[in-house]
Structure 1
Amino acid sequence: MTADLGMPVPASPGAVRVERVVTSGVFELDGGSWEVDNNVWLVGDDHEVLVVDAAHDAEAILAAVGDRRVVAIVCTHGHNDHVNAVGDLVAATGATASLHPADRVLWDQSQAEPPGGELADGMPFTVGDVELTVIHTPGHAPGACCLHAPALGVLLSGDTLFKGGPGATGRSYSDFPTIIDSIRTRLLGLPPETVVLTGHGDPTTIGAEAPHLQEWVARGH
């Protein structure tokens, strides 16, 4: 289903806008499984759309896409709950799904086919008249990436930065000092009013999170 972002993301009729589809399923890693709700973000106008994280339910994502052309599917990282609808979405739309190559170790745990494209730091994606830039932010996963769209004032953060702190680093292929370094050096220098659209849960802003960095370091998660 689509949902109100709950944050002031600029939009006008026909302009590039951000939409959220919330899907539910199971996250599996290291022999454990957890029921989760995921945010799937659609960035686009009335004619084309970029899908960020194809999670759980391809039919729900396709319903939100409608008759728009999918220009690309960006996978912020390779955990199964962020990529388990990729195959069906690629088959239905013909779009290319891209993942940072450092996350193939996670992708290959749940996906039989390789991703069609590779993300790289600084790589641009264009939808409508808006450019989004890939920011490599390892820590939650080695190939974790965010997408920054300055024209919209948004950062699509995947599982790197949440309302209240960094993404989890207690499982395989994650590292707490690395995610703290990624957030400190790659994200907290963005304009404080930047809306952070997260992989799970509610949006936040860079300005709301930046003052708490040392608290996160002190608590260790």
Structure 2
Amino acid sequence: MDLKSTLLVVGGSACCFKLLNTVIRFLPTPELARNKSWKWRNISTSLAHSSLTGAWAVVCFYIQPHMVEDLISSQSLLSHSLVAVSTGYFIHDFLDVALNQSFKRSREVLLHHSLVLSCFSLSVTSRLYVGYAVVSLLVEINSVFLHIRQLLLLSGRRNILGTYVALLVFRVCTLAWMTRWLAAHTERVPRYALTMGTVGLSLISIMNVVLFYRLLRADVLPIREKRMAREI
């Protein structure tokens, strides 16, 4: 795709996710989640993005396995389109969160989206590092479980095991591999791209540690406290 076509895909993607978010407004919502209808719509839209892009990333590497050998210049129409579509989603979600949540509650999400948009914008416009961006979208497989967990909690239910297994495999391992790859290819990556990637990975890794702690605090610590209470 040329630059004009790429921008059309990005803009079309943002509009499609906005449309999906609007359609969800008219779909049945669990009774317990009705007082948090915006959050339900936002997470449902995010679940659709994670399901789509996580599966799409796997397909990209299945069809073009040699892309792993050259994450800088190797690409295809399928992989480039994936990054463009995902860029459109992050634009939509950045605006959705910024307009509907206070900055204090949304600053982590806005920081994360800003980092992703910076890296993905470089990738889709320069047609470089597309493979690296596709690797990062494997993390969305874990996001599927996180979003399902959030929706279950909003509807008064709970799912624990799948979230932690997916977090370890698709988030921790993927980001560790990305960090290792970046460190091994510092001589091939321009300074501006290396700085962007290093800062982005560092901040997102810190966010993941915080995420893991919050999951433990929400899921494991209450169970431990109940056991201790029974023993007293």
Q: Same fold (TM over 0.5)?
A: no
TM-score by length of 1: 0.27
More RCO (CA 8 Å, sep 6+):
2
Query: Relative to total residues, which structure has the larger helix share, 1 or 2?
Result: 2
TM-score by length of 2: 0.26
